[in-house]
Structure 1
Amino acid sequence: MTDKSFLNLEYKKEGKNFRLQLFFAKDERGIVYRVTTVLYANGWNIEGASIRSLENGQIEDEFLISDSTGREFGEKEKEQIVQEMYLLFKEEISIPSYLIKKGKVAKADKGNESAEIIFESNEELDNTLLRIKTKDRSGLLCDIARMLFLECIDILSVKAKTYKDEVDDTFEIKSEMGHSLDDGMKERLVRNLKNIL
């Protein structure tokens, strides 16, 4: 990517929250991971999310975000988000280095053995639905997206919902090889997810 035309970001206020619509010119591995990383690093809580592919090949990401201090999302915040996403997509800085620079250090108190993780396969489309129900915390969606990225799993769509302090997130996923997940991969994902939730 050579310029910022790869991304168009629109936003509007909805009550105390802000709805962001991000249109990417083309699909690319790790979009959800990078977007959630930038929002988390800038202190925005993700209350809901929807990611889908459009017929023209573009990717539309929609995030409902909030800030516990009542901060507003305006043109200044928009420019900062776009600039930082641009740096990550161009790989001018690695995500771990970016998070350190932003003062976001991994917490040691992660892990939730009681998290509910459900798989449902779609044999017709070779996709797998992954549903996660667990307690909400800062950076959760970012951590899930990172883990799937590192496991070489493509996120085709996401529906993220937050109810008070509980989340109910559904991911449509498949392996980078283009097929649904086998039992061994599912078991590994459950094990790894419970370590980060």
Structure 2
Amino acid sequence: MPKISAATVAEHRAAQRTALLTAAEHLLEEAGLAGVTPRSVAERAGLARSSFYEYFGSRDDILTAVAIAAFDNWGAEIDEILSAVPQEERLVAYVGATMRMTADGKHAIAATLQQAELSPSRHEDIMAMHAAFLGPIATLLREAGVPDADTHAVLVQGLLNAGVQLVTHGVDPAAATASITTLLEKGLPSRTSI
């Protein structure tokens, strides 16, 4: 029987899978998509290459798993932030948290993975996770009394995506938050007379 490094086989397997995911995430950050191969991930995790295939069928599978873990972590952090904010301030808090987390580099993995040429089914898995972020936005809009919250959630997500791009390219997260918040609360600023 192979030697395990945990109290139970299930714990051992969970630890090895986590080690592979962590290795893939670090390789993505350091070397981009080209740096993530079954061999490089297994070596970085300190495991045999064959161990990779015990947990992931392909490079696409581990990239998808990294994306899902990143989405889960992002969502958990947003939920924690919103839980400490009064209901009427949650939409602005959501925008601010998204911009700060982007500035902190937490969106970098998602940006890198958007460039991956994944199989259609794996690409759909990642897109479904991304679409899941519309739910909390729609909920926040409903709580704020916004009519047709689902449609408006898509529009708010568009503003957030634009804000992420701005912050990624060097715009101060507080400035991006202020601009998005102004658009959400007041619409476009008035034009001055010429």
* TM-score of the pair, normalised by structure 1: 0.24
Higher RCO, Cα 8 Å, sep 6+: 1
Q: Which protein has the bigger strand share?
A: 1
